[in-house]
Amino acid sequence: MKHERELMEQIRRYFERDLKMTDQDWKAFSSRLKRDEYSKKHLLLKAGQIEKHLSFVEKGIIRFYVPKAENDLTFTFVFDDGFVSAYDSFLTQQPSGYNIQTLEPTILWRISFDDLQTIYSETEAGNMIGRKASEDLFLKKSKRELSLLNDTPEQRYLKLFSEQPQLIKQIPLKYIASYIGITPQALSRIRKRIS
Cβ neighbour number for residue 122 with a 10 Å cutoff:
11
What is the per-residue pLDDT for 1? Answer: 52
Same domain, 128 and 160: no
Contact (Cβ atoms closer than 8 angstroms) between residue 148 and residue 76 = no
Contact (Cβ atoms closer than 8 angstroms) between residue 86 and residue 54 = no
What is the per-residue pLDDT for 108? Answer: 96
Same domain, 127 and 66: yes
Domain housing 166: 151-195
Please classify residue 2 by burial: count the beta carbons closer than 10 Å to its beta carbon, then call 0-12 exposed, 13-18 middle and 19+ buried.
Answer: exposed
Same domain, 140 and 166: no
Same domain, 128 and 189: no
Distances (CA, A) of 38 to 58, 97, 103, 160, 193: 12, 22, 10, 24, 36
Same domain, 167 and 74: no
Same domain, 36 and 68: yes
Contact (Cβ atoms closer than 8 angstroms) between residue 80 and residue 23 = no
List pLDDT tens digits, range 125-176.
777 777 888 888 888 889 889 998 999 999 998 888 888 777 778 899 999 9
- In this model, does residue 185 exceed pLDDT 70? yes
Same domain, 87 and 170: no
Can you give the length of the chain in residues? 195
Q: Which pLDDT band holds residue 72 (cuts at 50, 70, 90)?
A: very high
Task: Give this prediction's pTM.
Answer: 0.85
Same domain, 156 and 97: no
Which H helix or E strand runs over 45? Answer: strand 43-45
- In this model, does residue 86 exceed pLDDT 90? yes
CB-based contacts of 7, cutoff 8 Å, min separation 6: 58, 109
Same domain, 139 and 161: no
Same domain, 132 and 117: yes
List pLDDT tens digits, range 37-70.
999 999 999 999 999 999 999 999 999 999 998 8
